[in-house]
Amino acid sequence: MDLQTLTYIIVGATFALYIGIAIWARAGSTQEFYVAGGGVSPLANGMATAADWMSAASFISMAGLISFMGYDGSVYLMGWTGGYVLLALCLAPYLRKFGKFTVPDFIGDRYYSQTARTVAVICAILISFTYVAGQMRGVGVVFSRFLEVDITTGVIIGMAVVFFYAVLGGMKGITYTQVAQYCVLIFAYMVPAVFISIMITGHVLPQTGLGATLADGSGMHLLDKLDGLSAELGFAAYTEGTKSTADIFAITAALMVGTAGLPHVIVRFFTVPRVKDARISAGWALIFIMILYTTAPAIGAFARYNMIDTINGPDAQGTLVAEAPTWIKNWEKTGLIKHEDKNGDGRMFYSGDERNEMTIDRDIMVLANPEIAQLPDWVIALVAAGGIAAALSTAAGLLLVISTSISHDLLKRNLMPRITDKQELLAARLAAAVAIIVAGYLGINPPGFVAEVVAFAFGLAAASFFPAIILGIFYKKMNKEGAIAGMLAGIIFTVGYILYFKGIFITPLAENKPENWLFGISPEGIGTVGMLVNFVVAFAVSKVTKEVPENVQEIVEQIRYPKGAGEAQVH
């Protein structure tokens, strides 16, 4: 059976599973549509949270970034891992105790202002659309190679699947679908990692294989070999970074605090019955996330080693590879790998200087890794299914955030308070349908590679939501004027900086080079500065405006120092 047939069978089977779950778990009320009725077990919620959290950026792009950037790519690993811990320990239990299942709802009630709620809705939609663009891009990359369709067609197929189970099932359907998607994506991630680790180092665990010696009998460690190859080919040493300390710190911090402000992850802590269950599910999610995140550096290193070996390695006669390997030919059809024969010798050469003849999209590395290592076709097809599962699981969560922001926060809680439950559910489904169409367009016309686009979303969350949430919980004197001014200042500054250098949908106004960046901080890390702007503006404005009402201060005290057993009702 050929690869394409196997891919159709495996991917088709997973799609049938997701759709079947959506039909079984379809939402019949807004409570089920928004928070799955609040009856999900901590274990299942932990698995769903992990799938929601580990998007196409984690599955497809992160190891690819590490493969190309080496040490510099670790900022994504540290930022996203640390961010989840920050969210789980410092924010989620308190938000769950407050009982508001969306960030705009929390901000609107905590800061006793419909204006604050509206600003939060705008920020949530902007963040979610930026994030979902990366997911749909990931879907397009997977389909373009393994189903041998163009990226546009691949995105449309992904839109159709997400539309079915997100619009029909809401959070209830999404939750149980994400449990299945986690099982698919983690199995698809680990199987080739184990096989390749055994082939390269002889170690079963990829985590230990990363620091082991090569199995070729040379006695050389894998990382030492990569450092040597990188130096020979004109790249920076694999274990040494080229980014400035300030930029590494800023990107890591933006990813960490941005995580704590991501609305699609926060809402997951409202699908369990009790605050205690929210804490337990956070622990389970961290374990499930750890499996993939501790494997990603190894996959990046294995992919880098095999890629250089198959492109530049000697053939049987000891000369450079004369003919493109099969994996290069396969991916060239997608346009994500290009070969320019500069010296006319008919051979490929990959390097970090003027000798380079290869243009390789870093988003393909995890997907191409099994092909590069010449693993069986069923493993390659499994990885395709895993990549799609990772992208669709997060896309569904983000689309639900957009849907609830419009139907619940904007309509029910602001513009149309008398809307019935049935009308609100209809509005939520219509909003999700429109959001899917917009997300599909962004997937077809992405503003960058997957992890880069996702990093922008985290920066926007860091600059807008994190200060408002953290101050709302731990500083009872922060008033509505300060919170609103801080969110606006942070989001406007961050969006302006990204547009200035990246020119998303417009022509950039400056060249995106370190010497042009503010304080040497890249657009991927500018959310940290935006967060500081938010904090400064919020404190300054709060000092010259009215104090927080006494009843609101009492609510904040109750969140942090609860009385009684602590059962929180979602309302």
pLDDT for position 368: 87
pLDDT for position 481: 95
pLDDT band at 160 (very low <50, low <70, confident <90, very high): confident
pLDDT for position 271: 75
pLDDT for position 449: 56
Identify whether 340 is part of a domain: no
- pLDDT above 70 covers a percentage of the chain that reads 88
Residue range 319-329: average pLDDT? 69
Residue range 242-260: average pLDDT? 87
pLDDT for position 536: 97
Q: Which of 3, 10, 31, 22 is nearest to 569 (CA)?
A: 31
pTM of this prediction exceeds 0.85: no
pLDDT for position 38: 54
Q: With b meaning 16 or more CB within 10 Å and e meaning fewer, what string describes 174-196?
A: bbbbbbbbbbbbbebbbbbbbbb
Calpha distance 214→291 (Å, rounded): 23
pLDDT for position 29: 54
Q: Which domain holds residue 555?
A: 3-303+375-560
Total tally of structural domains belonging to the chain = 1
pLDDT for position 193: 94
Residue range 444-466: average pLDDT? 78
Identify whether 65 is part of a domain: yes
pLDDT for position 564: 44
Calpha distance 173→165 (Å, rounded): 6
Identify whether 87 is part of a domain: yes
Mean per-residue pLDDT over the chain, rounded: 81
Highest mean pLDDT among 5-14, 223-232, 312-321: 223-232
Q: Is the model more confident about 178 or about 300?
A: 300
Q: Which of 46, 92, 45, 55 is nearest to 287 (CA)?
A: 46
Calpha distance 312→233 (Å, rounded): 10
pLDDT for position 479: 94
Cα angle, residue 130 at apex, residues 102 and 505 outer, rounded to 5°: 145
pLDDT at 471 over 80: yes
pLDDT for position 545: 93
* Residues 209-249: tens digit of each pLDDT: 999 999 888 889 999 999 988 888 888 888 887 888 899 99
Q: In Å, what is the CA distance from 174 to each residue of 155, 260, 303, 393?
A: 19, 21, 32, 8
Cβ-count burial of 543 within 10 angstroms (0-12 exposed, 13-18 middle, 19+ buried)? exposed
CA within 13 Å, CB half, 213? 6
Task: Find the range with the poorest average confidence among 25-39, 53-67, 179-193.
Answer: 25-39
pLDDT for position 410: 77
Residue type, 355: R
pLDDT at 570 over 50: no
Identify whether 231 is part of a domain: yes
Identify whether 248 is part of a domain: yes
pLDDT band at 170 (very low <50, low <70, confident <90, very high): low
Backbone angles phi and psi of 359, in degrees to 5: -115, 115
Q: Which residues pair with 320 in a beta bridge?
A: 314
Identify whether 324 is part of a domain: no
Identify whether 365 is part of a domain: no
* Residues 509-524: tens digit of each pLDDT: 788 888 889 888 998 8
Residue range 423-436: average pLDDT? 79
Q: Which residues pair with 519 in a beta bridge?
A: none
pLDDT for position 446: 67
Q: What is the CATH number of the domain that holds 381?
A: 1.20.1730.10
Identify whether 106 is part of a domain: yes
pLDDT for position 493: 96
Residue range 115-135: average pLDDT? 83
pLDDT at 546 over 80: yes
